[in-house]
Structure 1
Amino acid sequence: MTGKTWEELIKQELFDKLDMSDSSFIDWGPRTNWTNWARWHISVGGLLLSDPLDISIFRGIGRSTGPAGAVALTAEDAGKWLSFQLSQGKDVSGRQVVSEDVINKMREASIVYTPAVLPNLNNTLPVAPYTHVGSDRYGQGIHIGWHRGFPMYSHYGGIVGYSAHMAMLPTANMGVFMARNTLGVPWAFQELRLALLDILLGETPLYNSSTICDINNLRYERPKNVKDEDLG
């Protein structure tokens, strides 16, 4: 329709307008011989390999996943992206890059998860200040949930050896971004985001070094003083 590749269109309409000058795509890595790209590090038997793996071997994976795993960006550019989201589509100077209607449309639920998807979830109604529902709906490329009574929008993604996670509370004007270049279970990001958001909110984190691996899964634990009638 535009005569441009997906990468060219995203760069022109978003990255350039948001001054995300250090953002790129895995398919463009060879253009600079992967200069300044974080390499994938792995450990064998607890020993971290001294030489990172060649990212080019994963280029095909990145190309096939497109926007789900093909974007590469710095922490600073990730901050600009969060600012763009929290300001309802504006760049750091206040210029409207994407209309508020489009941003709001992205956050409308297209899919509502069923109890089969979230079997431990008794009720999705937020009860401030402690309810956390990471995601009970899905919008246009974004998970929709609640944290301490605030609407929360989040997403995670990556390819082999790389993963990232973003979560934001627009009504509280805050968000977090995390990324890593090693193997491991990406779900730990979800617990870490809760601790970071709680710190930003000035609350005692629901998760800490002692409870982050709790098998009882605090995300779905109803406080003892909350009754059925309180949930509606």
Structure 2
Amino acid sequence: MKLKRKLAHPASSIQLTTITAPMSLVTEQIKTIRTNINYAMVGQPLKTIMVTSAIQGEGKSTISGNLAVEYAKKGLQVLLVDADLRRPTIHQTFGVDNQWGLSSWLSGQLADINDAIHPVFDHLFVMPSGPKPPNPAELLASDKLTDFLTVATRKLDLVIVDAPPVLPVTDARILASQVDGTVLVVRQNFVEKLAVQQAVDALKGARTHLLGAVLNGVDTKTYGYGDGYYDTDTN
């Protein structure tokens, strides 16, 4: 996979381990997540995946970014969309301009959507969030998002949506009904069980297909193997 842009802006805490350490235990775990997602949807079309969490800081952007890289490594044409219009990170991680993005398109400020989509690696494209709008939930609930996802899935193999956390705002619940499946990231020893259950109930209420949960921040040394799994600050 050829690097086309500078990785990881210093302000970003997201680690693209699948690029910087392709033989690491963390990368192997990302591959396992990818495989399990594929098994979860055997016999069913999977063109759009949303990655979210119950609260902020559980690692959903780290998982979505690394998943996008791994799917692209397999030769799929992948678009990673930063739909976290309130606290975006994808533009920093992949070193792309955030002047135009999803919010620009949804608010009608962009004539050509291609101006908001950046090729970053072979087979991998990134759509940043764009400028922070005053009405994120309303934009995400618009018909323009539905139309965009419909067109994107016709041209690409997979769209991965990095969504805001479920509990603080309604954005993720709005997005959940627009995608084929949702992955919930849960950070060990960080989020309360009640919050996780509330997030699951909210996603089910939005009638999304919950593909499963990713337990993040696990110290694998406890099990006598490896150097730890995502024991860094993540978004």
TM > 0.5: no
Q: Relative to total residues, which structure has the larger helix share, 1 or 2? A: 2
Which of structures 1 and 2 has the larger relative contact order (alpha carbons within 8 angstroms, sep 6+)?
2
More strand by share: 1
Higher Cα Rg, which structure: 1
Could you tell me the TM-score, scaled by structure 2's length? 0.30
TM-score, normalised to structure 1's length?
0.30
